[in-house]
Amino acid sequence: MKQAHLLLSEKKGRQIHFRANQSHPLFPDLKTMVHKALGINQILESILNRLGHLLETAYLIDDYALGRDTGIIDILLVGEIDPHYLTDLTKKTERYIERKIRTLVFSQEEFERLGPGMLKRPHIRLWG
């Protein structure tokens, strides 16, 4: 995969760290295949659909946005979302996918103020 330029490497001390080459033309297709294999697409879509009209925008951020399955899925949600309902949805989903889901919820006003800084982190827009 490194020879095909699908992976980039960086030496840190005695270790070599690999990451997906996001500028490779096949990256979007490979990312979709990985998400489908993990079932992430359907799971996240299920949560986002259940939040419905309360959700304005959603982003997958940090490790999963980079294509790394660390066991923790970070999602940034923008809207007027009921925290109790969101907690219930994420707990049920966590049991199903055997991964931790961390959510960060902003109102539209908070996102306008803080969002640009948050979106400097790796992210993929999922909704809105």
pLDDT digits (tens, 9 = 90+) for 84-97: 999 999 998 888 77
Cβ atoms < 10 Å from Cβ of 80: 11
Local confidence band at 40 (pLDDT 50, 70, 90 cut-offs)? low
Q: Domain total for the chain? A: 1
Specify if 34 maps to a domain: yes
Specify if 63 maps to a domain: yes
- Say if residue 1's pLDDT is above 80: no
Specify if 95 maps to a domain: yes
Instruction: Report the C-alpha gap between 26 and 121 in whole angstroms.
Output: 22
- Say if residue 38's pLDDT is above 80: no
For 42, the domain range is 22-127
Nearest Cα to 22, choosing from 109, 106, 89, 122?
Answer: 122
Specify if 12 maps to a domain: no
Specify if 72 maps to a domain: yes
Least confident of 33-37, 87-91, 121-125: 33-37
- Say if residue 107's pLDDT is above 80: yes
Specify if 116 maps to a domain: yes
Local confidence band at 41 (pLDDT 50, 70, 90 cut-offs)? low
- Which tokens sit at 86? 């969101």
Specify if 8 maps to a domain: no
Q: Greater confidence, 28 or 35? A: 28
Specify if 4 maps to a domain: no
Kindly report the CATH number assigned to the domain that includes residue 92.
Answer: 3.30.460
Instruction: Report the C-alpha gap between 15 and 81 in whole angstroms.
Output: 42
Q: Greater confidence, 69 or 23? A: 23
Nearest Cα to 21, choosing from 9, 34, 12?
Answer: 9
Instruction: Report the C-alpha gap between 20 and 38 in whole angstroms.
Output: 17
Classified as helix, coil or strand, 51 is helix
What is the per-residue pLDDT for 10?
85
Instruction: Report the C-alpha gap between 68 and 111 in whole angstroms.
Output: 25
Q: Greater confidence, 45 or 57? A: 57
Instruction: Report the C-alpha gap between 105 and 83 in whole angstroms.
Output: 9
